[in-house]
Amino acid sequence: MKWSEFFVTGEPLIYAADVAIVLTMVGIVFVLTYFKKWKWIWNEWLTTVDHKKIGVMYIICAVLMLFRGGVDALLMRAQLTAPNMNFLDAQHYNEIFTTHGTIMILFMAMPFIIGLMNIVVPLQIGARDVAFPYLNALSFWLFFFGAMLFNISFVIGGSPDAGWTAYFPLAGNEFSPGVGNNYYAVSLQISGIGTLMTGINFLVTILKMRAPGMTLMRMPMFTWTILITCVLIVFAFPVLTVALALMTFDRLFDTQFFTMANGGMSMLWANLFWIWGHPEVYIVILPAFGIFSEIVSTFAQKRLFGYKAMVYSIVGIAFLSFIVWVHHFFTMGAGPEVNSVFSITTMAVAIPTGVKIFNWLFTLRKGKIRFTTAMLWSLAFIPNFVIGGVTGVMLAMAAADYQYHNSYFLIAHFHYVLIAGVVFACFAGLHYWYPKMFGHMLNERLGKWTFWLFMIGFNVCFFPMYFLGLMGMTRRMYTYSDGLGWTPLNVVATVGAVLMGIGFIVLCYNIYYSARYGERDMTGDPWNGRTLEWATASPPVHYNFPVTPIVDDLDAYWVMKKKQGGFQVKEEELKPIHMPSNSGRPFWISVAFFVAGFGLVFKWFALAIAGALFIVLGLILRSFENDDGYHIGVDEIKRTERAARKGA
Amino acid sequence: MVGADEGGYTVMKRAIWRALSVLPLLFLLSGCVERTAVLNPQGPVARTQYDLIMWSIGFMLLIIVVVFTLFTVVLIRYREKPENADYEPPDEEGNTLLEIVWTAIPVLIVAALAVPTVKATFAFEKPPTDKVKPITIHVTAANWKWIFSYPEENIETVNYVHIPAGVPVRFKLTSVGPMNSFWVPELGGQKYAMDGMETELILQADKPGSYMGRSANFSGEKFTHMEFEVVAQKGDDFKQWVNEVKQTAPKLNENKYAKILEPGLVGRMTFSNTHLEWIDHAKQNSHHVERKSAGNHGNPDHDMAKDSHHHGE
């Protein structure tokens, strides 16, 4: 391979990105050196096993990836604003929608949700960390280096360009000979392994580490949704692992699993992809439901209505999520029997989801609703998600789906469920738990500006797409001709996308502004919360709870406040606390994954083997390691507690 | 259960129809109906789908109205105000009766949608009328063009297709490369064209006219340009066109055909024979050859569409 092929060339946008990347890296090195922060970043962040810090790192990455995916989206909207535009050529457009989809689902939505669950779940169940803190760090760094590997593709070697679904035979060597789809296969594999371990980790954490008295039916709704999500991860991600492994073999070693010749079966890829892909969508939406449940209940100042029905409905949705995958390709010709069955199972998803919508509405009824920014996002979710949901039912009708499939009607539908569902939840959760993460609030005024700009922009952008779909506009078209009458709606959609972009900029400014001037949360409970995370200081001390709280009802902290005026800690009850040690190994094992992955992408097998050997070395060192963590003495706990609570 | 639903279904259908007859006005706001291809059905298949779409939109609007009204009322009535500073919201656990109501109503709605959906899904497998003998056209998607072969008439066209109006057309779909989707929204919904497979899509045009078709499934760099025109003609005109093609169009040979298949764009072409003489891409994947030789399918009339169906399971 020549160097001119190694680096992507020929596009001014790419050169600008090259310069930006180099400047950012130089900037980071300079800042860390100038302020002598190298040691700090290594000790406090890169080697941490603290679930709260890992959660914060996930969210930082997710926001950066939201920026990247958002820029991709704006480039696409720019290209589609007018007919016959030449802003992007077809190849460039194909790469951009591929990376937009992959990044938004796997490197934005997933880490945002996983970040929030890292921060919140151990606190909500009264635990001091997750069940396997070392594994948690490894999960994060595998995700991080998987995401980095995916992201460098657009300056080194070339981006994948076969869509985020990477359907064969298009994604095979014959039609996609470059390294782009190698990046797809390998980087998703690396971060996917991280996600699978997160699923196992939180499943065990929630099942085994709840505070005494917290039975399953007293768990906060967010924790419930995470429990079910982990079950989905554990069942769905192995399918992705296998599918990606087969794809990698096809691409690197010329096996014929999905190819056109020698008995390959391209439809097998579509099936495997969606057997993972459909539960994957619910992996991001169920936690969103959990976030909304917490926030709606807090700001309606009322217990969640129909808690049990809510639990049963998420279990029902999770079950259904595994038996609906064929609705992604009703048009494959599987026959009317198959299509009818999957049609009905898909429509059935609307039933438990409807139950949840009404339960949220009835939680609000008779409440005393406070319109904070977090609450605005949660309230806006209801009508917007209902629009996405009912159009989802329309898509579920196989015979009618033949007319909607792959059109902008579909694009509108899944953005209505994923943005109004997941992205609204991420923003809601960010505003809600921000004081818990950083000890200060996000500015409410700026928050509301973000909300209105983004929410209105979202509707202006995506509502017209339903009509574009009915007009015959299909997804992934890089341009269209003048006479079709699609121009006005496309212009409107672009205006909406720009509004969303402005909303995002206001959010970023808010993060900066609030860090400098934001109100400090000295109470630990700024919203009059109901669950145990609000019983800790903001931000919580690294061991979370000086003594394990005792739970005797749903909304444990709410009841504590009513009965005892808060979470009471008597100094004589303190005992030494056992905590896990930091480790740099998850970081460098993940670097080895990155190196091995990079070697595989370019078929530089010597490099891949070297990386793999380091991974194995890391595993060997870990298995002979004898580190039982450390204990925090009672005196130190007393000192820390007094310092943390002096504001309260 | 299906039978019991039927009576209610038709009565309700009529009522909702009336309410919906104003709905197209809404679409006028965003462009004219003729341009909204899916809502401008020009054949029986598209019309069934249109009916289904309108039927479902009725229910969906009903759901939206109920939820939005509840939402608005609740937000206005129960917001925090200076007057209700002392109000302490009650802790309700839930209400079993309400839970049953808002589970049962969606179940009924899903049933009301499922019945016509299943009916239509099965109906699309057969020609919309059995009074007229259908014609067969083989459709081959290639990077990035559509090739139409008429086995009975022994002619072939590229990037456009003529069909007789009022006659069901069996499009037998396959692909020489990436998966594409054959979609003519005014005539009816789409189906995939896949390598080594044969899928079947039956469409019919009511009257003569020109209808836009395109690939709805991304298939690589120039996929956007995979458009074709469907020209529906009166029976006699169609016959005359076929005869003209037979007399005037050049012959296609293997070399010329290989050139057409090369990745890239081509204009419209017309030939007085078909490539089916030497290759049928639907039967090219060795997967099927092996299966046959292994004796899994002894039937000589073995239908590839059924075969693909089998794999789908």
Q: What is the mean pLDDT of residues B268-274?
A: 96
Out of A329, A336, A464, closest to residue B122 by CB: A336
Taking contacts as CB-CB distances below 8 angstroms, the residues of chain A near B75 are 364, 369, 379
Cα separation, B269 vs B249, in Å, equals: 9
Q: Quick one: B63 exposed, middle or buried, by C-beta within 10 A (0-12, 13-18, 19+)? A: buried
- Interior CA angle at A304 toward A117 and A287, to 5°? 25
Strands (E), A12-67: none
CB contact under 8 A, B312 and A267: yes
What b/e readout covers A458-497, taking b as 16+ CB neighbours within 10 angstroms? Answer: bbbbbbbbbbbbbbbbbbbbbbbeeebbbbebbebbbebb
Asked whether the beta carbons of A270 and A167 are under 8 A apart, the reply is yes
Q: What is the mean pLDDT of residues B172-177?
A: 95
pLDDT at B294 exceeding the cut of 50: no
DSSP A213: T
Q: Quick one: A597 exposed, middle or buried, by C-beta within 10 A (0-12, 13-18, 19+)? A: buried
Indicate the range of A5-14, A338-347, A582-591, B72-81 predicted with least confidence. Answer: A5-14
pLDDT in tens, B122-149: 999 999 999 999 999 999 999 999 999 9
pLDDT at A495 exceeding the cut of 50: yes
Whether complex ipTM tops 0.90? yes
Taking contacts as CB-CB distances below 8 angstroms, the residues of chain B near A303 are 91-93
pLDDT of residue A499: 98
| Chain A: closest CA distance from residue B243 (Å) | 33
Three-state DSSP class for residue A103: helix
DSSP B124: T
pLDDT of residue A644: 75
Taking contacts as CB-CB distances below 8 angstroms, the residues of chain B near A275 are none
Asked whether the beta carbons of A494 and A78 are under 8 A apart, the reply is yes
Best residue of B48, B107, B113 to probe chain A, by most A CBs closer than 10 Å: B113
pLDDT at A97 exceeding the cut of 50: yes
pLDDT of residue A572: 87
pLDDT at A553 exceeding the cut of 60: yes
Q: pTM of the full predicted structure?
A: 0.92
Out of A305, A351, A391, closest to residue B106 by CB: A351
pLDDT in tens, A497-530: 999 999 999 999 999 999 999 999 988 999 999 9
Taking contacts as CB-CB distances below 8 angstroms, the residues of chain A near B5 are none
pLDDT at A647 exceeding the cut of 70: no
DSSP-H helix ranges across A301-407: 307-320, 336-348, 350-364, 373-396, 398-404
What b/e readout covers B224-251, taking b as 16+ CB neighbours within 10 angstroms? Answer: bbbbbebbbbeeeebeebbeebeeebee
Beta sheet of B209-215, edge-to-edge order: B160-164, B227-233, B209-215, B180-184, B188-193
Provide the sign of the torsion angle of the four alpha carbons A119, A121, A122, A123, taken in this order.
Answer: positive
pLDDT band for position B301 (cuts 50, 70, 90): very low
CB contact under 8 A, A344 and B30: no
pLDDT in tens, B191-238: 999 998 999 999 999 999 999 999 999 999 999 999 999 999 999 999
CB contact under 8 A, A390 and B60: yes
Cα separation, A123 vs B10, in Å, equals: 55
pLDDT in tens, B99-130: 999 999 999 999 999 999 999 999 999 999 99
pLDDT band for position B35 (cuts 50, 70, 90): confident
Give the distance, in angstroms, between the CA of residue A447 and the centroid of all CA atoms in the same chain.
21
Contacts of A340 (CB under 8 A, 6+ apart): A398, B117, B118, B121, B122
pLDDT of residue B15: 53
Indicate the range of A72-76, A97-101, B12-16 predicted with least confidence. Answer: B12-16
| Chain B: closest CA distance from residue A440 (Å) | 24
Q: What is the mean pLDDT of chain B?
A: 85
Looking at per-residue confidence, does B31 or A362 come out higher?
A: A362
| Chain A: closest CA distance from residue B219 (Å) | 6
pLDDT of residue A9: 76
Q: What is the mean pLDDT of residues A478-499?
A: 95
pLDDT in tens, B58-84: 999 999 999 999 999 999 999 999 888
pLDDT in tens, A400-436: 999 999 999 999 999 999 999 999 999 999 999 999 9
What tokens were used for A82?
A: 């007018």
Best residue of B23, B25, B30 to probe chain A, by most A CBs closer than 10 Å: B30
Cα separation, B235 vs B232, in Å, equals: 9
CB contact under 8 A, B185 and A403: yes
Q: One-letter amino acid identity for A242?
A: V
- Chain pair A-B, CB pairs under 8 angstroms: 299
